[in-house]
Chains A and B, each alone.
Chain A
């Protein structure tokens, strides 16, 4: 199977400082794989995720996502890559002035899809995340769990080849957490979407096979 993410001797640091957050990481993630990245707080999990969507340029080594080398990627190419990613944040990162419906189809708006397609997709996805009745509401009128479900719906709206999730269920109630894990499992299993989830704790009930990478002392290991 083809590689979706490939890191070789990857080192990451902020502002090119001496203090590496990740050092010499080498790993390879294939299409359709579900990968958990765990580690202690401050171990560099979110930093690694930022590098995966091009928010942080690698200091050393090589990082390839979707066939594009992120060490020297052009701005336009990076924008194009991001349009094919589904990103989920712990703090949801929804646009508070926009309705739930509009937030869900943000990736379609960016890609210039017609209003009809946007409407069809938002209706389908909101039904999927069990938020159909909240379509017209603003994000701040929703609970944390509901906002995160909107975030997941947004991440899925364009059938991305790669979903990156940063602590997607941190601080969420059990019901919302289960809905979110279920959606990601389904997406991985049925659509062969690669899913990388950064979390401090792997859910106890998880029905599909997954890989587990752990960050410890700035290095990335795989647990078999």
Chain B
């Protein structure tokens, strides 16, 4: 009973950290997916005197991902209702070239203004329209939520880390007699503390498996029954197989560093 209690008091804070990490990974993937969506929908309008190609506009700013020429005919048709055909042709010759420009990632207003300024420096560019206000408020809210979530996860991680350290100290007291006897008989530090490392590593593997199973369950069972459309559509973002290794790596790093901290403190005490 005491043995199980000792393990659970270590596994629980570790699980709290891993849940935080997994949520962070899910949120990060959702953010990237959302930003990709925004990026795909977003375009700038660039008006130029002469026809240009992608390479020459990328020379003005490397974040330009693609350009798409808007056909003049459509514009002329729209603005020349009632005009003669010859006038339409003249108008078409006088009109500059309009391009839909897509960027390689989603930028905030400040960065978009910088791209706009870069483009406007060129003599071939007549004007640039950025349409920035429509997406920015949503995006800012999203960034704010992401920031709050990161703060929350960091807080949980720090608290859990201290709980782990406390538990390690309890373990070190439990193992103190054994470690002392082994020291008297000439055991090196690594051998004396091997049991603590072994328990910590086993617990970190158990925690990782539990959290992975929990998220797999969410992904394949709970999401469907929840009826939440956004989750159903983004099911793939909830848990990826790679996450298991990321969580295992991080939890091993946490336990090994916390055991090492406690052991080095014991060493100093001696």
A residues sitting closer than 8 Å to B (CB atoms) are: 53, 55, 76, 78-83, 85, 87, 93-98, 106-107, 110
Contact = CB atoms under 8 A, between A and B. Distances in A.
Interface string B47-79: 000000000000000000000000000000000
A81 B186 CA distance: 7
A79 B184 contact: no
Contacts of B186: 78-83, 85, 107, 110
Interface in B175-195: 177-178, 180-182, 184-188, 191
B231 to A, nearest CB: 48
B177 A110 contact: no
A94 B184 CA distance: 11
A97 B177 CA distance: 10
Nearest to B188: A79
Contacts of B182: 95, 106, 110
A87 B187 contact: no
A53 B188 CA distance: 15
20 contacts: A53-B184, A55-B184, A78-B186, A79-B187, A80-B186, A82-B186, A87-B184, A87-B185, A93-B177, A93-B180, A93-B184, A94-B181, A95-B181, A106-B182, A106-B185, A107-B185, A107-B186, A110-B182, A110-B185, A110-B186
A138 to B, nearest CB: 13
Contacts of A78: 186
Nearest to A158: B185
A51 to B, nearest CB: 13
Contact of B191 (A80, A81, A94, A110): A110
A101 to B, nearest CB: 16
B181 A93 contact: yes
Contacts of B180: 93
Given A82-B185, A106-B182, 20 more contacts: A53-B184, A55-B184, A76-B188, A78-B186, A82-B184, A82-B186, A83-B185, A85-B186, A93-B177, A93-B180, A93-B181, A93-B184, A95-B177, A95-B178, A96-B177, A98-B178, A106-B181, A110-B185, A110-B187, A110-B191
B266 to A, nearest CB: 14
Contacts of A85: 186
Nearest to B175: A97
Contacts of A87: 184-185
* Interface SS, B side: helix
A98 B182 CA distance: 12
Nearest to A84: B186
Interface in B191-214: 191
Contacts of B177: 93, 95-96
A107 B177 CA distance: 16
Nearest to A93: B181
Nearest 5 A/B pairs, CB to CB:
A82-B186, A83-B186, A79-B186, A110-B187, A95-B178
Contacts of A98: 178
B195 to A, nearest CB: 9
Nearest to A55: B184
A97 B178 contact: yes
Interface string B155-179: 0000000000000000000000110
Contacts of B191: 110
Among A53, A79, A80, the one with the most B-chain Cβ atoms within 10 Å of its Cβ is A79
A196 to B, nearest CB: 15
A82 B186 CA distance: 5
Nearest to A155: B185
Among A85, A106, A107, the one with the most B-chain Cβ atoms within 10 Å of its Cβ is A106
A93 B177 CA distance: 8
A55 B183 CA distance: 10
Contacts of A110: 182, 185-187, 191
Contacts of B188: 76, 79
B1 to A, nearest CB: 15
A98 B181 CA distance: 12
Nearest to B195: A97
A95 B180 CA distance: 10
B95 to A, nearest CB: 85
Nearest to A78: B186
Nearest to B174: A97
Nearest to A80: B186
A80 B181 CA distance: 15
Contacts of A55: 184
